[in-house]
Amino acid sequence: MESIGFIGLGKMGSAMAGNLLKAGFTLQVYNRTAEKAATLVAQGAKLTHEPGDAVQRGGIAITMLANDRALEDVVGGDRGFVERLGPGGIHLSMSTVSPRLARRLAEQHGRSGVEYVAAPVFGRPEAAAARKLWICLSGSATAKQRVRPILDSIGQGIFDFGEEPAAAHVVKLAGNFLLASAIEALAEALVLGEKNGIDRSRLADMLGSALFACPAYQTYGRAIAQQQFRPAGFTVELGLKDIDLVLQTAADSTTPLPLAGLLHDRFLAAVAKGRGELDWSSVWLESAENARLSTEYTHEAWVILRSESPAATQLKP
């Protein structure tokens, strides 16, 4: 079994690392907040205090981090892991980051003899814990073959998009763009129904069972209908970050995406109102406000938001 350096132990990273330990891999882990590694250490992982200390020469480093900046912080410099990996090493990048950064890192890694393999995932923390992630993959054929046992231990399926380093990241952004679009469409549809006397739970159930029988509509339709906005599986702030990356990638490739602009404004408004830490399905609240819904459930949502942030908009009961 490979010895792996795992960097980034948020909800997703911790679940993925735990499954690798169960599969028999040896793990050295690093996280900016070391306390988050306690459960993994109890299961046999070794905690390191610098990103570079988590990897071995010619080994494999896995990153699962929140954004481009967090990834750049652990890659290079005196604390980074790329120089420590050296020739024969592989950086398995599983975060949702910009294709622009992926291409730059692949070029920089190559000068140190390190291969960059993109493997971003689709799935919420509960899917990660259950080894039900869908994985997008791109990079050199030999490197992908070497990391395949790792990916098989954390996901239920792999989709290979060739050798271009950024390809899998483009696919991931396209998928998240569609998920955000589905949430926005659901929010507007359920508000339309509610304003016209239709029970939102019954409407969400019908849409997810008949017209749109797929996990996205079922999961987020249920979350909106039941106001399950916390704990967040994926926050509004992260949703805004990903839509910004979608727009950046669209601009880089001269691709008009009018709907992405609308989504950006919707998520930005939610963050401005103090809702950034709620699940991204909570953008439903924006539609509810605009329609001036004034029933009991909007009052319940208002109480939750008011308790978390004085900047939250007050939905009048």
The angle, 0 to 180 degrees and rounded to 10, between the axes of the packed helices 167-195 and 236-252 is: 120
Instruction: Detail the DSSP E strand segments found in the chain.
Output: 3-7, 26-30, 46-47, 60-63, 90-93, 115-118, 121-122, 133-137, 155-160
What percent of the chain is predicted at pLDDT more than 90?
90
- 216 CB contacts (<8 Å, ≥6 apart)? 178, 179, 182
Average pLDDT over every residue of 30-45: 96
pLDDT for res 2:
83
Catalytic residues: 172
SS3 133: strand
Residue spans in the chain of domains classed CATH 1.10.1040.10: 170-308
Q: Answer yes or no: are the C-beta atoms of 100 and 107 closer than 8 Å.
A: no
Count Cα neighbours of 234 within 13 Å in the Cβ-side half-sphere.
26
Please indicate whether residue 309 or residue 202 has the higher confidence score (pLDDT). Answer: 202
Average pLDDT over every residue of 31-49: 96
- 131 CB contacts (<8 Å, ≥6 apart)? 19, 153, 154, 155, 156
Q: How many residues does the chain have?
A: 317
pLDDT for res 300:
52
Cis amide bond preceding 231, omega within 30: yes
Residue spans in the chain of domains classed CATH 3.40.50.720: 3-164
pLDDT for res 3:
83
SS3 55: coil
d(CA 88, CA 110): 10
- Residue 315: pLDDT over 50: no
pLDDT for res 78:
84
Averaged confidence pLDDT in the chain:
93
User: Which CATH number is associated with domain 170-308?
Assistant: 1.10.1040.10
Q: What tens digit of pLDDT does each residue of 224-249 get?
A: 999 999 999 999 999 999 999 999 99
Q: Answer yes or no: are the C-beta atoms of 243 and 264 closer than 8 Å.
A: yes
Q: What tens digit of pLDDT does each residue of 136-179 get?
A: 999 999 999 999 999 999 999 999 999 999 999 999 999 999 99
pLDDT for res 312:
42
- Can you give the C-alpha Rg of the chain in angstroms? 21
Q: What is the third-level CATH fold of 3-164?
A: Rossmann fold (3.40.50)
pLDDT for res 52:
96
Of 86, 99, 291, nearest to 188 by C-alpha is: 291
